[in-house]
Homo-oligomer: A and B are copies of this chain.
């Protein structure tokens, strides 16, 4: 991980202004930007928490391995998102790993400095608390979905989620290239099962996967699958 040449400490620096979420102006002084190559690890589970990361550009997957070739992707993070905030809790270890999916520029803020900023800046802390409340709600929801939805519905949900987070271009292609492997990990399914389901969806003209490109052809039908499944469990 080499230090980015865009290290900056003035308001006028374009890079850093974008690097931080707009509600975090207070920490603009003490920070360092890093550049990470595609596929490179940013932090790994059980690493000691040393700070918090903000993404300036690129995309990162936050994931947890539980075996050599098995992992669950918990979420994706893109420009403007926070990472490593779980380290703010009691346990001073990152419970998950983060790996860059494309060349990524990150902004790193030392934990001690971040915490002392929080102590001073009520408003910031308040907003961060709200952010956590939202995250928690979202996390709970996806946990429930995992437990009671079928793999097919989970895949449909994953696709919709990707679309919502990254948007799609005019031709309905999701603005994120993703391997099937990662898609499987994100849906909590085995690679082969994902393949079979995606195949079926392709035959029914609901989605189209060419290489790492994902195209959603029939969103209504995807939503249908998700809902049907909710009912089918009866």
Binding site for B on A (CB under 8 A): 64, 66-67, 70, 72, 74, 85-86, 88-91, 95-96, 118-119, 122, 125-126, 128-130, 132-137, 139-144, 146-148, 188, 230, 233-234
State the oligomeric state as a number of copies: 2
A133 close to B89 (CB less than 8 A): yes
Q: Assess the B128–A66 pair: CB atoms within 8 A.
A: no
The 3 closest A-B pairs by CB, nearest first: A132-B132, A89-B133, A143-B143
Instruction: Report Cα–Cα, A23/B234, bound state, in Å.
Output: 43
From B67, B95, B136, B233, A132 is in contact (CB under 8 Å) with B136
Return chain B residues, CB-CB under 8 Å to A140: 74, 86, 95-96, 139
List the B side residues contacting A130 at CB < 8 Å: 88-90
Task: List B contacts of A233 (CB < 8 A).
Answer: 66-67, 70
| Known pairs A136-B139, A143-B142; A148 contacts B70 (CB<8 A) | yes
Write out the residue numbers on chain B whose beta carbons fall within 8 Å of the beta carbon of A90: 130, 134
Residue picked from A85, A135, A140, A230, most chain B C-beta under 10 Å: A140
From known contacts A72-B147, A147-B188, infer whether A133 and B88 are also in contact, taking CB-CB under 8 Å: yes
Q: What residues of B have a CB within 8 angstroms of the CB of A126 in the complex? A: 118-119, 125
26 contacts between A and B (CB under 8 A): A66-B148, A66-B230, A66-B233, A67-B233, A70-B148, A72-B144, A74-B140, A74-B143, A74-B144, A85-B133, A86-B136, A86-B137, A86-B140, A89-B136, A90-B130, A95-B141, A96-B140, A119-B122, A129-B132, A132-B132, A136-B136, A139-B139, A139-B143, A142-B143, A146-B147, A147-B188
